[in-house]
Chains A and B, each alone.
Chain A
């Protein structure tokens, strides 16, 4: 399927979807309430069966989680983003039931950004100790011992 058709079908499903200018591939920003519906559509109908990567980004005013997807038949790649405005209690639905690989990636983001993935089967910290205070990849994280300002 061509890029324009993918864009149209996402737009039809979620009118609020915002397409960002990106030279490499389709880049779409999704509001939280339609996020899960669009991801299901991308997996099941558009056959984006390979979740390459899940990344968190702290934009200081809000968080976003970026999902890089690939269709292994056509080798089309795209990025879907979800915006999480609530900084105090950031939450987003898991996609680990759609793509198993999301399990560890979402745990990593929970560990380092403190974003909760609801319905995740086993949401624990992945790298840091269970009693670690704070989420290091947030921009407002302060650690006077381990981070040296230059």
Chain B
């Protein structure tokens, strides 16, 4: 980096150093480069450099049809693939005025919540690992595997499912879907307290998370921080509550809010959201109505000219889809408001004055998925 060298060369007596963290660094969970200004061990600036995995998804969308776009959205926030698909499907369905069968809405809501649990499990696993608690990684991945098995059974894919399509689902659920989901709920309810025993009460973990990286509610709103990170600061931003889609209005669940705004608060929101998600699934899983798994759609989907907006709650915050259509089979302009890009903006503010090791804890608690930042 030329600019780094210049500062160091121009001021040889400066104690301030600029250090590259990433693009290959285990704690960034992807190719994010942070240029960290340090004085001794203390962080005094954090400059994120993005674009290492920029694929131009928004440009690609302008050349392909709406059912094809679904497959690209999987690859943004790959741990919330179902929710990303859901956002595009809802935008298209609402623009066309298509009423999807109730069965589809139930299955979509259950799938969304399953992938939220899987995402939070992986987050917990890697967050613990970032802090040096290696065992969490094995616990988290062990249990996440059960959800991936359920996905594989019904969707044919473990990771990038592309299961939703405008109008409904690609295929119906597996006959054993309900049985296996219920088995998983019993299994995971028993094991979730183990997570708490392993990490939540751990003295080292608590010392590294409480009062670390404080984010006030005003700043959370000002920086547009949504998802568990925003709710850890008391910013009520759950799209499932404020603008329900799917069948969230039929399920009873709480929006987890905490007021502390530190790393531990964000951690606790993640943990409690897994419990709430299980609650939602439990209420819906026995009530999936019979019927079609896809509404009747035209073979070529063309949206009426106009502009459409749709928000959904992914595992990391509010995903917005903004479609500008000129009446053709592909969008004139498609914009994804990805939660992670907005959440990234606040990282510098949270980290200044903390030690480098705490930057890892703060970055981990914000739960960045880099392909979602770059798109």
Contacts and interface: CB of A to CB of B under 8 A. Distances in A.
Interface of A: 20, 22, 24-25, 27, 49-53, 55, 57-58, 66, 68, 72, 75, 77, 79, 99-101, 103-105, 108, 112, 125-129, 136-137, 147, 150
Contact of B242 (A68, A75, A105): A75
A13 B332 CA distance: 32
Nearest to B338: A53
B59 interface: yes
B121 interface: no
B221 A105 contact: no
Contacts of B333: 55, 57-58, 137
A104 B374 contact: no
Interface in B221-246: 221-224, 235-237, 242-243
A147 to B, nearest CB: 8
Contact of B320 (A53, A104, A125, A127): A53
A52 B235 CA distance: 14
Contact of B341 (A24, A27, A50, A104): A104
A25 B309 CA distance: 9
Q: Is the interface of B mostly helix, strand, loop or mixed?
A: mixed
Nearest to A109: B335
Nearest to B225: A101
Contact of B224 (A57, A99, A125): A99
A125 B50 CA distance: 9
B54 A52 contact: no
Contact of A100 (B54, B243, B345): B345
B236 A72 contact: yes
Contacts of B320: 52-53, 68
Contact of A128 (B51, B222, B324, B335): B51
A100 B223 contact: yes
The 5 closest A-B pairs by CB, nearest first: A101-B224, A127-B51, A53-B337, A55-B335, A127-B54
Contacts of B51: 125-129
Given A127-B50, A136-B56, A137-B58, A75 B222 contact: no
A79 B243 contact: no
Contacts of A108: 341
Contact of A52 (B219, B318, B332): B318
Nearest to B322: A55
14 contacts: A20-B307, A22-B306, A27-B307, A55-B335, A72-B235, A72-B237, A79-B309, A104-B342, A105-B341, A108-B341, A125-B51, A126-B51, A128-B51, A128-B54
A101 B309 contact: no
A52 B337 contact: yes
B221 A50 contact: yes
